[in-house]
Structure 1
Amino acid sequence: MIRSLRTALMVAAIALPLAACGGRGGNAVAKTDLAASKVTTIGVNAYLWRASLDTLSFMPLVQTDSNGGVIVTDWYVNPQVPTERMKVTVSILDQDLRADAVRVAALREVNRNGQWVSAPVAAATTQKLEDVILTRARDLRRASIAG
């Protein structure tokens, strides 16, 4: 799965600058920018997909669907807080690299007397994860255009 994603990103990185070279006039930079924000090899934006995988790499993954744009993690227990665990679902909603194209949902449980009990997740937690994913996606896009 990771190898095919890397291959897709490498193909996109090679093909995007070449796509801007052809055509009938127009602004080549605008075409490159548009092409860099779109995806043709998987169903969702490749930068958001890669950034989501990178951001959640410390958590065990249960499901990944690059065509549907869904990543689901298994429960993760932070070794520094063993009485708490989290489960995250990332949904990529668009082929464009946009702030509203990624949604994070999280579940949190705390251990009370040996039983895992649902606990609220701070809204700032999911917002922070979305921000980290978007920042990483923008960095990946910049690197592909510059390189």
Structure 2
Amino acid sequence: MTATLATSAATSAKFLSLSLRTGVVAVALLALGGCTFGKTRIHNPIHIKHHRVLRTSQVLPPSNITTIGVNAYLWRASLDAVSFMTLTQSDSNNGVIVTDWYANPANPGERMKLTIAILDKDLRSDALRVTAARQLAKDGVWVDAPVEAATVQRFEDVILTKARDLRRATLIK
């Protein structure tokens, strides 16, 4: 009977030891599941037995982040650039932002309306198109006026610069 108890205790200890080791391996795999190696980034360094898993090099995150229908950096930068204007349409799947007429309080006799189209999933300068409409108040009536090409170019430059900054900000330091 004592031999049976000893064998049973040894079997239980082996089973417990195997279960414990399996559990530790499972927890370690779950912890490492969020990490990637190579040229992609590790979101959070993980400590395992006082060793730190680190990235070997800092690289830019991919330029075609698309959890929506278009490039997420360009989308966010576009929304930031026109945040002072009221939006009449915003479609993240098709990449279209349309603002309402905006009159600068310093110049109430002039107003502008913007349409921003994001055309690609990559962060590229040709993936963005900004069009503007301008009107002037004459005798109480809004009359269409030409928009300087430099105005549209400035908006595009602001959006592209913000998008690049957002992409750089995603680096882990």
TMscore range, shorter length: 0.7 to 0.9
The answer to whether the Cα contact below 8 Å between 1:36 and 1:145 also exists between their aligned partners in 2 is no
For 1:120, the equivalent position in structure 2 comes to 146
> Which deviations, in whole Å up to 9, do the C-alpha atoms of 1:45-91 show, x marking residues without a partner?
00000000000000000000001000000000100000000000000
Distance 1:85 1:78 in 2: 7
Distance 1:40 1:118 in 2: 37
The answer to whether the Cα contact below 8 Å between 1:47 and 1:140 also exists between their aligned partners in 2 is yes
Distance 1:110 1:65 in 2: 29
For 1:7, the equivalent position in structure 2 comes to none
Identify the structure with the greater helix proportion: 1
> Which deviations, in whole Å up to 9, do the C-alpha atoms of 1:75-132 show, x marking residues without a partner?
0010000000000000001000001111100000000000000000000000000000
Identical-pair percentage = 61
**Comparing both chains, which one has the higher relative contact order based on Cα–Cα distances under 8 Å and sequence gaps of 6 or more?**
1
For 1:101, the equivalent position in structure 2 comes to 127
Matched residue SS, 2:152: helix
For 1:9, the equivalent position in structure 2 comes to none
Distance 2:88 2:167 in 1: 27
Q: How does 1:1-147 map to 2 (within 5 A)?
A: 21-22=36-37, 28=39, 33=60, 36-146=62-172
Q: Which has the larger radius of gyration?
A: 2
Distance 2:145 2:66 in 1: 40
Deviation at 1:28, TM superposition (A): 1.1
Matched residue SS, 2:76: helix
For structure 1, list consecutive stretches of 5 or more residues without a partner in the other structure.
Answer: 1-17
Aligned residues: 123
- Report runs of 4+ in structure 1 exceeding 4 Å deviation: none
For structure 2, list consecutive stretches of 5 or more residues without a partner in the other structure.
Answer: 1-33, 41-56
Matched residue SS, 2:62: helix
Query: TM-score under structure 2 normalisation?
Result: 0.67
Distance 2:106 2:62 in 1: 39
